[in-house]
Amino acid sequence: MSTINRISPAIDVTAIRRQFPVLERLVKGRPLVYFDNAATAQKPQAVIDALVHYYTHYNANIHRGIHTLAEEATAAFEATRDAVRQFINAAAREEIIFTRGATESINLVAYTWGRAHIKAGDEIIISAMEHHSNIVPWQILCAEKGAVLKVIPVTDAGELQPDAYMQLLSDRTKLVSIVHVSNALGTVNPVRQIIDAAHKAGAVVLVDGAQSAVHLEINVQAPDCDFFACSAHKLYGPTGVGILYGKKQLLEAMPVFQGGGEMIKEVSFAQTTYNELPYKYEAGTPNIADVIAFRAALDFIAATGKENMARHEQSLLAYATAQLEQVDGLKIIGRAREKVSLVSFVIDKIHPQDIGILLDNQGIAVRTGHHCTQPLMQRFGIPGTIRASFAVYNTHEEIDMLVQALRKAIRMLL
Amino acid sequence: MTDGQMNGQAAIRQTETEIISEFALFDTWDDKYEYIIDLGKRLPPLDAAYKTDDNRVRGCQSTVWLTASSRDGKVFYQADSDAVIVKGLISMLIRVLSGHTPDEILGAQLDFIREIGMTAHLAQTRSNGLLAMVKQMKNYALAFRMKQEMNGDGNSSTAAAGH
């Protein structure tokens, strides 16, 4: 069976692996097997080089400097914005706001759009599989405004209950903030249907794309997202850079987020006028180096081809699922029909943390715990899972190593 | 510092040295973990009555319960966890600290954790609460010391360590 699953000819994984220097290191005396990609992906040499090159050759503050370095830095910074626009197919570059991460992107919407538009009695719909980052900002907003948070339940397979969603939607619904791909289960949610139904009800939709952006083709115009949030570091880019996409008319009408430099047009003690989009939401000196280096990550994805990456990742998913299912006492949590390349599982009578420690001891990096989705773990009645998440540079052989190491860990623990 | 305390601290260090020499026998990390797992399995389970929210040690990915009592001016710990490696680590901490006076416990450096190569378990990763456990054990010792100072005796039987 594995021969079919092993075929993913469109990419040369060996060549890809050579671009990621960290993959050469040893952990506990063994070659690193990095299966924690849903937490953060490793960085190709081009991203590391871009960071070094920026600091070595043209470090400068952007947008207002008149000197050569400032012009070069500004051009490189804004080039990333163009690359991001293309990556998610936004209509205009002004719709791309740089933040610190997907979490800040969601908070930005909660604190600006949310504060301006959510009133007492309004309803916000999220789902039971949200990351805490897409729960807590809305809880804070609802508490402040007297609004109500509604939660779409999740089935045993780890999919949203579509009927329940339709029942929750009403003219009181002002916002649907939904995760595109579950970080804990891998489930791909039907965002097109979710958005269409929300728009019919007159609600605005935010899609949390922290996990989806690296695995799926993103087109924020179809399905018709109002807001889309993601993080550079899960896209093979640097940490500390997030993206908020917002429709221009929404962004223009929103109040500002933080006040300071960059975001102003003119300041006097009598009155301050704000800068135009996207700078209106980018107060202070941004994370220039990491934004610039992020472009190298987007170039890497473009050069590899998202479709090719997805095909390889799906092959890894199918293989890992089949191999893990054969491990005694192992139960996969999240059996959605459509998943990205991650497998969450639990093992009978064994705590996930024990497995995580013993896999690390064999050079294998997985994540154990609640994955910042405690309500979802409560839904499944488990303290947490062991999550192996696969990226384009992972191999079927590494999955064999995981399964072998897992069997050994179980032997040691039982 | 009294002679008794000095001896007590020497005894803590002696137990640490024993553990270090036991670990020196192991050639591989697998052997070390096998041993810790075995310690974890052999740690007597905590009575369900003590598995309360108050006795939970915050800061651990796994659930850890820790309780302490005092007899003759000495502190005795009991603990449990739903993760067996954590239980093994607790078992070693109990072996080193249990049966000593609050002052001895508060003065313990617990260098053995580093010396047996378990430093990673002290890291502030939130995934692993050895540091939280040590802190909580010392909190108990501190609470018993305060209680002893107030009562003027060493026979307080209940634990009252805050989190």
**What does the pLDDT average to over B31-51?**
95
Note the pTM of the prediction, 2 decimals: 0.92
**pLDDT above 80 for B41:** yes
Geometric angle at alpha carbon A395, from A391 and A400, rounded to 5°: 120
Q: Work out the minimum CA distance from A9 to partner chain B, whole angstroms.
A: 37
Contact criterion met (CB < 8 Å) for A358 and B127: no
| Rounded-to-integer distance, Cα A401 and Cα A394, Å | 11
pLDDT higher than 70, residue A118: yes
- Cis peptide bond upstream of A9, omega within 30: no
B69 vs chain A: nearest CA distance in angstroms?
Answer: 28
Least trusted range by pLDDT, from A123-127, A290-294, A346-350, A367-371: A367-371
Which CA distances in Å does B133 have to A292, B17, B43, B63, B157? 43, 21, 16, 11, 21
Query: Domain tally for chain B?
Result: 1
Mean pLDDT of chain A: 95
Inter-axis angle of helices A45-57 and A68-88, to 10 degrees?
150
Q: Is the dihedral of CA A119, A120, A125, A127 positive or negative?
A: positive
The answer, yes or no, to whether residue B3 has pLDDT greater than 80, is no
CATH number reported for the structural domain that contains residue B15 in this entry: 3.90.1010.10
Q: Which residue among B34, B37, B61 places its CB closest to the CB of A368?
A: B61
Active-site option among B43, B57, B60, B110: B60
Would the pLDDT of B5 be above 70?
A: no
**Nearest-angstrom CA–CA distance, A159 and A129:** 9
Instruction: Clarify whether residues A102 and A222 are in a common domain.
Output: yes
How large is the average pLDDT for residues A19-47? 97
d(C-alpha A2, C-alpha B36), whole Å: 37
Establish if B115 belongs to a structural domain: yes
Statement: residue B4 has pLDDT above 90? no
| Confidence at residue A324, expressed as pLDDT on a 0 to 100 scale | 98
Task: Say whether A368 and B85 touch across the interface (CB within 8 A).
Answer: no
- pLDDT higher than threshold 90 for residue B57: no
pLDDT tens sequence across A206-224: 999 999 999 999 999 999 9
Is there a contact between B61 and A353 if contact means CB atoms under 8 Å apart? yes
- Does the residue B124 lie in any domain? yes
Residue B144: pLDDT over 50: yes
Stretch A329-351: mean pLDDT: 97
**Is B117's pLDDT higher than 90?**
no
pLDDT per residue over A361-382, tens digit each?
999 999 999 999 999 999 999 9
Whether B159 is in a domain gets the answer no
pLDDT for A260: 86
pLDDT(A9) > 80: no
Q: Where are the beta strands (DSSP E) in A192-259?
A: 204-208, 227-231, 242-246
Position B119 pLDDT exceeds 90: no
B7 found inside a domain: yes
> Tens of pLDDT along A75-108?
999 999 999 999 999 999 999 999 999 999 999 9
CATH number for the domain including A359?
Answer: 3.90.1150.10
pLDDT given at position B158 = 53
Higher pLDDT, B2 or B77: B77
Q: Are residues A104 and A252 located together in one domain of the fold?
A: yes
Residues of chain B neighbouring A357 (CB-CB closer than 8 A): 33, 85, 128
The counts of H helices and E strands in chain B are: 6, 2
Q: Measured between CB atoms, does B128 come within 8 Å of chain A?
A: yes
Lowest mean pLDDT among A56-70, A292-306, B143-157: B143-157
**B83 has a chain A CB within 8 A of its CB:** yes
| The last residue of a domain, from among A302, A319, A338 | A302
Compute the distance between CA of residue A323 and CA of residue A316 in angstroms, rounded to an integer.
Answer: 10
Among A residues 21-60, those touching chain B with beta carbons less than 8 Å apart: 28
Question: Which of B29, B34, B84 minimises the CB distance to A354?
Answer: B84
Q: Is B17 at the interface with chain A, CB within 8 A?
A: no
Domain tally, chain A: 2
Last residue of one domain, picked from the residues A302, A322, A348: A302
Q: Report yes or no: B62 at the A interface, CB cutoff 8 Å.
A: yes
Tell if the CB–CB gap between B61 and A369 is shorter than 8 Å.
yes
- Mean per-residue pLDDT for A279-305? 96
Which residues in chain A have Cβ-Cβ distances shorter than 8 Å to B30?
Answer: 361, 412
Asked if residues A64 and A310 have their Cβ atoms less than 8 Å apart, the reply is: no
Confidence of residue A1 (pLDDT cuts 50, 70, 90): very low
A57 and A172 share one domain: yes
- Asked whether the predicted pLDDT for residue B12 surpasses 70, the reply is yes
The answer to whether residues A243 and A311 belong to one domain is no
Tell me: do A201 and A86 sit in the same domain: yes
With respect to residue B160, please indicate whether it lies within any of the assigned structural domains. Answer: no
For A236-263, write each residue's pLDDT tens digit. Answer: 999 999 999 999 999 999 999 988 888 8
Residues of B in contact with A361 (CB under 8 A): 29-30, 33
A76-82 — which CB contacts under 8 Å span 24+ positions?
A76/A292, A76/A295, A77/A286, A77/A288, A77/A291, A77/A292, A79/A292, A79/A295, A80/A291, A80/A292, A80/A294, A80/A295, A80/A298, A81/A278
**Assigned domain for B161 exists:** no
Per the domain annotation, does B157 fall within a domain?
no
Which chain B residue's Cα is nearest to A370? B61
pLDDT bin (cut points 50, 70, 90) of residue B124 is low
Lowest mean pLDDT among A228-232, A272-276, A402-406: A272-276
pLDDT over threshold 50, residue A197: yes
Probe site for chain A from B39, B61, B63, B81 (most A CB atoms < 10 A): B61
Same structural domain, A144 and A126 = yes
Q: In terms of residue numbers, what domain contains A272?
A: 49-302
Q: Are strands A173-179 and A123-127 parallel, antiparallel or unpaired?
A: parallel
**Comparison of pLDDT for B132 and A302, the residue scoring more:** A302
SS3 annotation, A289-353: HHHHHHHHHHHHHHHHCHHHHHHHHHHHHHHHHHHHHCCCCEEEECCCCCECCEEEEEECCECHH
Confirm if A255 and A263 have CB atoms less than 8 A apart. no
pLDDT at residue A2 above 50? no
User: Does the residue B24 lie in any domain?
Assistant: yes
Q: What is the ipTM of this complex?
A: 0.86
Let me know whether A206 and A127 are in one domain.
yes
User: Is residue A5 pLDDT above 70, yes or no?
Assistant: no
In a shared domain, residues A265 and A336: no
Q: Residue A291's pLDDT is what?
A: 98
Q: Are A121 and A172 in contact (CB under 8 A)?
A: yes
Q: Which residues of B touch A383 (CB under 8 A)?
A: 62-63, 82
Residue A38 Cα, gap to closest chain B Cα (Å): 17
Neighbours of B120 (CB within 10 A): 12
Per DSSP, the three-state class of A383 is coil
Q: Are residues A223 and A254 in the same domain?
A: yes
Interacting residues of A254 by C-beta distance below 8 A, sequence separation 6+: A112, A113, A116, A246
pLDDT over 50 (residue B17) = yes
What distance in Å separates the CA atoms of residue A9 and residue A15, rounded to the nearest whole number? 13
Per-residue pLDDT at A273: 87
Which residues of A belong to the active site? Answer: 372
Any CB–CB contact under 8 A between B65 and chain A?
no
φ, ψ of residue B74 to 5 degrees: the values are -115, 150
B85 touches A: beta carbon within 8 Å? yes
Asked which of A269, A302, A335 is the last residue of a domain, the reply is: A302
* Residue A4 confidence (pLDDT) above 60: no
Output the pLDDT for position A265.
87
The span from the CA of B113 to the CA of A90, in Å, is 53
Domain shared by A290 and A161, yes or no: yes
* Encoded tokens for A310: 């997805």
Q: Are residues A340 and A295 in the same domain?
A: no
Residues A230 and A126 in one domain: yes
Task: Look up the domain containing B17 and give its range.
Answer: 3-151
Catalytic status, residue B60: yes
Whether residue A286 has a cis bond before it, omega within 30° of 0 = no
Give the confidence band of B6 by pLDDT, cuts at 50, 70, 90.
low
